[in-house]
Amino acid sequence: MKTEWYKNAVVYQIYPFSYKDSNNDGWGDIEGIISKLDYIKDLGVNAIWFSPLYKSPDYDYGYDISDYKDIDEKFGTMADFDRLLEECHKRDLKVIMDMVINHTSIEHPWFKQALSSPDSPYRDYYIIRKGKWVKDKLMPPTNWSSTFTGSAWERIGETDEFYLHLFCKEQADLNWENENVRREIIDILNFWLGKGVDGFRFDVFNMFSKVYPFKDDNDPKSFQKGAQYFVDGPKMHEFLKELNEKSLSLFDSYTVGESFNPSEEACLEYVRKSNNELDTIFNFAHFASDNIANKQFFKKPFNIRQFKDGLFKPQRSYYGEGWNTLVLENHDNPRSVSRFSIETDKYHYEAATFLATITYMGFGIPFIYMGQEIGMTNCDFKSIDDLKDPVSHFVYDLMTSYGMPKKMAFSFIKYGARDHARVPMQWNDSVNAGFNEGTKPWQCINPEYKKYNVEKDLTSEKSIYRYYQKLLKIKKENKIAVYGRTDEYDHDNNKIIAYSRTYETKRLFVVGNFSKKKVSYDIPIWAVRKILINNYDKLTVRGTTITLEPYQAVVFEEE
Q: Which positions touch ligand TEU (CB under 6 A)?
A: 60, 63, 100, 147, 167, 203-204, 258, 260, 296, 331-332, 391, 418
Q: List, edge to edge, every strand of the sheet that includes 496-503.
A: 485-489, 496-503, 506-513, 553-557, 531-534
449-452 long-range contacts (CB < 8 A, ≥24 apart) are 452/348, 452/374, 452/375, 452/376, 452/377, 452/426
For the CA atoms of 41, 44, 46, 47, the dihedral, rounded to the nearest 10 degrees, stands at -80
Residue 357 neighbours by CB under 8 Å, 6+ apart? 471, 510, 512, 533, 535, 553, 554, 555
The residue among 100 and 508 lying less far from ligand TEU, judged by its C-beta, is 100
DSSP string spanning 367-419?
Answer: EEETTGGGT-------SGGG---HHHHHHHHHHHHTT--HHHHHHHHHHH-GG
Neighbours of 461 (CB within 10 A): 5
Amino acid (1-letter code) at residue 327? V
Residue 74 vs 331, nearer CB to ligand TEU: 331
Question: What whole-number distance in Å separates Cα of residue 48 and Cα of residue 96?
Answer: 6
Nearer to ligand TEU, 63 or 229 (CB): 63
Nearer CB in complex with ligand TEU: 76/334: 334
Of the residues 21, 80, 217, 258, which is catalytic? 258
Q: Is 217 a catalytic site residue?
A: no
Q: How far is the CB of 344 from ligand TEU (least distance, A)?
A: 22
Q: How far is the CB of 201 from ligand TEU (least distance, A)?
A: 9
Tell whether the torsion through CA atoms of 178, 184, 188 and 189 is positive or negative: positive
CB of 231 to ligand TEU, least distance (A): 11
Given the residues 203, 217, 232, 350, the one annotated as active site = 203
Nearer to ligand TEU, 287 or 521 (CB): 287
**Distance (Å) of CA 223 to CA 21, 295, 397, 412:** 39, 9, 20, 19
d(CA 93, CA 86): 10
DSSP string, 125-137: GB-EEE-EEETTE
Q: State the minimum distance, in angstroms, from the CB of residue 175 to ligand TEU.
A: 17
Instruction: Give the nearer residue to ligand TEU in terms of CB position, either 173 or 448.
Output: 173
Closer residue to ligand TEU in complex, CB, 62/141: 62
CA distance 71 to 83: 13
Instruction: Report the nearest approach of ligand TEU to the CB of residue 62 (Å).
Output: 8
How is the beta sheet containing 161-164 ordered, strand by strand? Answer: 128-130, 161-164, 153-155
63 vs 452, beta carbon nearer ligand TEU: 63
Handedness of CA 486, 490, 495, 500 (dihedral sign): negative
Whether omega for the bond prior to residue 220 falls within 30 degrees of 0, making it cis, is: no
Residues 6+ apart with CB under 8 A from 328: 336, 355, 356, 359, 367, 368, 369, 372
Nearer to ligand TEU, 40 or 166 (CB): 166
Whether residue 203 lies in the annotated active site: yes
Nearest approach in angstroms of CB 330 to ligand TEU is: 7
Task: Compute the distance between CA of residue 277 and CA of residue 45 in angstroms, rounded to an integer.
Answer: 25
Residue 461 backbone dihedrals phi, psi, to 5 degrees: -65, -45
Q: Which is nearer to ligand TEU, 144 or 427 (by Cβ)?
A: 144
Least Cβ distance, residue 418 to ligand TEU (angstroms): 6
SS3 229: helix
Strands 325-327 vs 295-299: parallel, antiparallel or unpaired: unpaired
Question: Can you say whether the dihedral through the CA atoms of 426, 463, 307, 367 is positive or negative?
Answer: positive
Shortest Å distance, C-beta 391 to ligand TEU: 5
CB of 258 to ligand TEU, least distance (A): 6
Measured on CA atoms in the order 486, 487, 489, 492, is the torsion positive or negative? positive
Q: Are 421 and 378 in contact (CB under 8 A)?
A: no
Q: How far is CA 178 from the centre of its chain?
A: 28
CA distances in angstroms from 475 to 145, 192, 318, 365, 537, listed in the order given: 42, 29, 19, 9, 20
Q: Which is nearer to ligand TEU, 203 or 448 (CB)?
A: 203
Minimum Å gap between C-beta 309 and ligand TEU is: 19
CA torsion angle 74 78 80 86 (round to 10) = 140
Angle between helices 406-416 and 390-401 (to 10 degrees): 150
Smallest gap from Cβ 254 to ligand TEU, in A, equals: 18
Active site residues: 203, 258
